[in-house]
Structure 1
Amino acid sequence: MPASLFAMLAALLYLGATGLHLVHIFQRRQHITRPVAITGALALFCHAVVVIQSVGGDSGGLSLGFYKISALMFLAINLVCVLLMVRRPLQNLLVILFPLSAMSVLVSTFAPETAAITTELPGGLLLHIGSSILAYAMLTLAAAQAALVAALDYQLRHRHTRGIVQILPPLQLMEQMLFELLLAGVILLTIAIVSGFIFIDDIFAQSLVHKTALTIVAWLLFTLLLWGHYKLGWRSQTAVRLTLAGFAALMLAFFGSKLVLELLLHRG
């Protein structure tokens, strides 16, 4: 079956799982139901097939162009979220992730190639790429969690007792999950940065300097937030602002640099 059919099927399954999950949320069901789990699992399987066919190069390399990488990124994000759901109630994030994943598989499949396929990937560079993808996945989940924390905090401050307040876990648990995601993300991002300095010949080359600088800015913001939380007790609004600021810098570092290089300057 061609990748285009898997992509369309994955998108439909993701949207179907989102609809089912929304219905169950409004019915105040606290856990993932079997229909949502089955539909989501099928969507993830089709998504994985799309990634293998669109990101994997014919010669055994990787196609990591601007459009193609989105499917790989969201597959990693979804898999990390599913694994973490074993310990933490992160299922509400799926309402955000699944529709974006549906878009990513369609874009990855039907958009044109913008970068040359990389065929030679030494172990050190694979470590850098792998840790970068996992760090982006973890910190994307942290940003989505921060958005939910902001919404819940706003409702509680205005003494609203209906709607999202009844759906989400207590604010203290939401904040705890946020900082757990941030800590794991910062550890992975640290590995990505260090491995980049070690295994990339010139990490401050003209084509990489903006990506490197913005990634370091994001790392500093996340690290500052973690230090402020554990040393000074920073919570709620401060945590949300710094998390979203760090995430914005990180996304600009990755997707912004690829946008300029591949789509504007046509340099893969």
Structure 2
Amino acid sequence: MHPLLPSLVAAGLYAGATAYQGLRLARREIPRKGLLALLVAIALFFHGASLFLQLHAVAGLALDFFNAASLIAYSAILLTLLACARIPVENLLLLFLPLGCITVLFAQFLPSGTVQPIDEEPGILAHILLSILAYGMLTIAVFQSLLLLLQDHQLKNKHPSGLIKNFPPLQTMESLLFGFLWAGWALLSASLISGWLFFEDLFAQHLVHKTLLACLAWVVFAVLLWGRHQLGWRGHKAIRWTLAGFCLLMLAYFGSKLVREFILHI
């Protein structure tokens, strides 16, 4: 089966779910949670089918730049949808669904760079899975921090939009942010540990930049969580540290992949 059809269906469903949620919020109405969850779940099914077909290669896992972006978007949407069953984070979908639509189309239609298929040994696959889940969870944390920043700004200026009026209280939004950060940091820790265990040399030429930047991101998130616990960090300071750690993490993964696949062709 060719991945074109599931990619187009997934993109269409993501776009439809975004339009539905956006229009309801613009009218200051709460979207029907069941209908939104159903649309997103079906979109995830087709997105997953597309990823399975694109990632599977004869020599191993074809995790090129755009497939990786699509996979991380998929994991972020899936984790958010699962979280919606217990905590009020439906508004995050309004940001993630367009991201899913864009990345699934990019993975389908844009040319991939030069990439060596990844050996599908269980240890390596476990490391990749933990890394993708960590990136997905920390992506959720970053988008949550941006929504928190928007909510704080509009409440201070006393001009809350229809979107903001459907948010939980500011304190709840902040608690959710740190919950996502703790989960993402734990997954990132497990990812780094699995890398040390299953890769022969994490400081080999093609891995050294990724390893160093990922470790720096780990330190940034660790300091942020320590600052929250010991010093009560919150608000803009917490958001700045979150964005700094995320930028390091994305530079570690996508920066190195961009250079290797599209510039150095290795």
TM-score range, shorter chain: over 0.9
1:35 corresponding residue in structure 2 = 35
- CA distance in 2 between counterparts of 1:66 and 1:160 reads 40
Moved more, 97-106 or 61-70: 61-70
Q: 1:71: which partner in 2?
A: 70
2:117 maps to: 117
Aligned to 1:134: 133
CA distance in 2: counterparts of 1:134 and 1:171, whole angstroms = 26
Aligned residue runs from structure 1 range 1-268, under 5 A: 2-30=2-30, 32-58=32-58, 61-114=60-113, 115-118=115-118, 120-267=119-266
Q: Helix, strand or coil for the counterpart of 2:51?
A: helix
Code of the aligned partner of 1:263: F
Task: Find the aligned partners of 2:21 and 2:164 in 1 and give their Cα distance.
Answer: 17
**CA separation of 1:93/1:258 partners in 2, compared to 1, >3 Å: closer, same or farther?**
same
Consecutive unaligned residues of structure 1, counting only runs of 5 or more, are none
Q: What stretches of structure 2 of length at least 5 have no aligned partner?
A: none
TM-score, normalized by length of structure 1? 0.94
Measure how far apart 1:58 and its partner are.
Answer: 3.8
Is the 1:131–1:191 contact (alpha carbons within 8 Å) kept by the matching residues of 2?
yes
Distance 2:234 2:32 in 1: 28
Query: Which residue identity does 1:69 align to in structure 2?
Result: A
CA distance in 2, matches of 1:165, 1:7: 32
8 A contact 2:48–2:74 mirrored in 1: yes
Over 3 Å counting, the alpha-carbon distance change for 1:161 and 1:16 in structure 2 is closer
Question: Which secondary structure does the structure 1 equivalent of 2:65 belong to?
Answer: coil
Q: Percent identity of the aligned residues?
A: 42
CA RMSD between the two structures = 1.6
The CA distance in 2 between the partners of 1:34 and 1:164, in whole Å, is 19
Q: Secondary structure at the match of 1:51?
A: helix
Give the alignment's TM-score, normalised by structure 2. Answer: 0.94
Deviates more, 1:154-163 or 1:18-27: 154-163
Q: CA deviation at 1:68?
A: 1.7
Partner Cα distance (1:89, 1:57) in 2: 39
Whether contact under 8 Å (2:72, 2:136) holds in the other structure is yes
Contact 2:28 2:162 in 1 (8 A): no
1:247 corresponds to which letter in structure 2? Answer: F
Runs of 4+ off more than 6 Å: none
CA contact (8 A) 1:20 1:35 kept: no
**Whole-angstrom CA distance in 2 between matches of 1:87 and 1:260:** 40
Contact 1:145 1:178 in 2 (8 A): yes
Report if aligned partners of 1:26, 1:167 keep a CA contact under 8 Å in 2.
no
Q: CA deviation at 1:150?
A: 0.6
Distance 1:162 1:98 in 2: 20
Q: Distance in 1 between matches of 2:147 and 2:90?
A: 12
**Partners of 1:178 and 1:127 in 2: how far apart?**
26
Instruction: Read off the aligned partner of 1:176 and give its amino acid letter.
Output: S
**Partner amino acid for 1:97?**
F
